[in-house]
Structure 1
Amino acid sequence: MCGRFALNATPEEVEALFALLELEAFPPRYNIAPTQPILMVAAAPPRPAGSNLPDRQALLVRWGLLPSWVKDPKRFPLLINARSETAAEKNAFRAAMRHRRTLVPASGFYEWRRAGGKAVQAYWVRPRHGGVVAFAGLMETWLEPGGSELDTGAILTTAASADVAPVHDRMPVVIAPEYFARWLDCRGHAPADVADLLRPAEDGFFEAVPVSDRVNKVANTGPEVQQPVAEAARPAEAAQDEPPPPAAGQLRLL
């Protein structure tokens, strides 16, 4: 899954990668959490012939997708992720997969290695060579009872690559720049036409850097949450550090 991510890049870097004409200034965000606004890139409405305007637009949406048919969001689960393998068939994501596919600019994401049902180590998973990546996203506009509209979104996930698998079995889908146009073209490409893009990142693309549990708290929003730390011992490694059991017949002191 993807429960936290970051966008440390400058607006200029995002503009260049996604071919946006102009992007409002925004500060680096090191610990983006569910229900917070996130930046998404979507196909722009049809432009007049001969227009020089870009065919993509940047939007701010709430991270946590609400299908248009939801009556009471308080009784509906928070959909921050959608499994790419089944999204085209699921009632909550079917319409967005067909009509509102997006890209989510990111500098990387956070994941937690668990043991015994508890998170024992946080990781900052970033592109090995730096830069901005694009997660595959979905967007829905929910109509509030008062009549105002709320844009909401989710991040598509897939099986983990070899770089992420030791930490977690899922990861965000990454769309390469050469496939941006095809992914965003919901008029010309049905979900089946872009299913081949919903795959793990190539091995070696990401690196998982152990970080402290400061990232666990939404209030911690500074660059210190990405500061590398010594990795917590894995179960097999911890066992090697324990003293060997006493030999048969040896008296125990404790």
Structure 2
Amino acid sequence: MCGRFFIAQAPEVFRAYLGYPEQPNFPPRYNVAPTQPVPVVVCEGAERRFRLMRWGFWPGWLKDPRDFPLLINARSETMAEKASFRGALRHRRCVFLADGFFEWRREGAGRTATRTPFKITRVDGAPMALAGLWETWAGADGSEVDTAAIVTTVANGVLAAIHERMPAILGEAAIAPWLDVRGVDSGPAAALCRPCPEAWLRMEPVGPRVNDARNDDADLIAPTGATPAFVATPTAPRSGDAGQGSLF
């Protein structure tokens, strides 16, 4: 799954990478948590647009969100079949803006179990384009809330050391077809959401302060020491993100 991420680079970096015309001046956020507002990119007609949405998906048919579980992730393998996500996969796809995300390695069981947090970033320093689905929920009083969920897939070799799932990280070649809900149907779009190449990612342990969503400062993404031996940290040029994300 993906339950926390961070946005550390300047807004101009994301604007150049994702190609939207708006010029939002949003601050860095180092511990983005569910239910908070998150920046995403959608496609309206042929134009990409920057939007803020609530992280936590509410299907359009939902009457009372208080009676519904918090959907922060959509599984790539089943989102085309789930009533909650089926319509969004076909008509409302988005990209979450991120520089990296956090995942926890659990060791032991019960009260003696420990959870060690890690940050995962791209080796080349590029932003992470996380595949997402969105929906506008309308309340009985006429209010509307734009909500979104991150698409997840099975973990690649780097992430599998600590967790069986990871967010679907889109390569540059996959961003356009993922956002193109008019030209790319659900099946080909879902096929873009697969584990990214291991060479893209670096995983480093961070301190336990990230466990508390009330903490939000740059120290949260500072590595605590040398990367453990089981963590692969390959270096490779971006090369147009070859190896993942092509539609055909």
Band of TM-score, shorter chain: 0.7 to 0.9
Tell me if structure 2 keeps the 8 A contact 1:112–1:119: no
Query: Structure 1 81/121 Cα, relative in aligned 2: closer, same or farther at 3 Å?
Result: same
Tell me if structure 1 keeps the 8 A contact 2:203–2:227: no
- The question of 1:151 aligning with 2:143 is answered no
1:168 to 163, 166, 180: 163
5+ long unaligned stretches in structure 1: 47-54, 235-254
Shift of 1:197: 0.9
Map of 1:203-214 to 2, 5 A cutoff?
203-214=198-209
Task: Give TM-score scaled by structure 2 length.
Answer: 0.87
- d(CA) in 1 for partners of 2:190, 2:93: 12
Q: Considering only CA atoms, is the larger Rg found in Structure 1 or Structure 2?
A: 1
Tell me if structure 2 keeps the 8 A contact 1:109–1:125: yes
Tell me if structure 2 keeps the 8 A contact 1:114–1:120: yes
Alignment-derived partner of residue 139 in structure 1 = 134
Tell me if structure 2 keeps the 8 A contact 1:121–1:232: no
Shift of 1:231: 7.3
Alignment-derived partner of residue 78 in structure 1 = 70
Alignment-derived partner of residue 124 in structure 2 = 129
Aligned sequence identity (%): 44
SS of the residue 1:15 aligns to: helix
Tell me if structure 2 keeps the 8 A contact 1:135–1:173: yes
1:109 to 90, 101, 108: 101
- In the alignment, residue 42 of structure 1 is paired with which amino acid? V
Alignment-derived partner of residue 19 in structure 1 = 19
SS of the residue 1:165 aligns to: helix
5+ long unaligned stretches in structure 2: 230-248
- d(CA) in 1 for partners of 2:207, 2:4: 14
Query: Structure 1 126/232 Cα, relative in aligned 2: closer, same or farther at 3 Å?
Result: closer
Shift of 1:69: 0.8
- d(CA) in 1 for partners of 2:91, 2:22: 24
- d(CA) in 2 for partners of 1:231, 1:175: 28
SS of the residue 1:204 aligns to: helix
Shift of 1:131: 2.1
Tell me if structure 2 keeps the 8 A contact 1:164–1:207: no
Tell me if structure 1 keeps the 8 A contact 2:123–2:202: yes
Shift of 1:119: 4.3
SS of the residue 1:181 aligns to: helix
- The question of 1:37 aligning with 2:32 is answered no
Shift of 1:130: 1.2
Alignment-derived partner of residue 180 in structure 1 = 175
Map of 1:230-241 to 2, 5 A cutoff?
230=225
Task: Give TM-score scaled by structure 1 length.
Answer: 0.85
Shift of 1:188: 1.4
1:62 to 54, 62, 68: 54
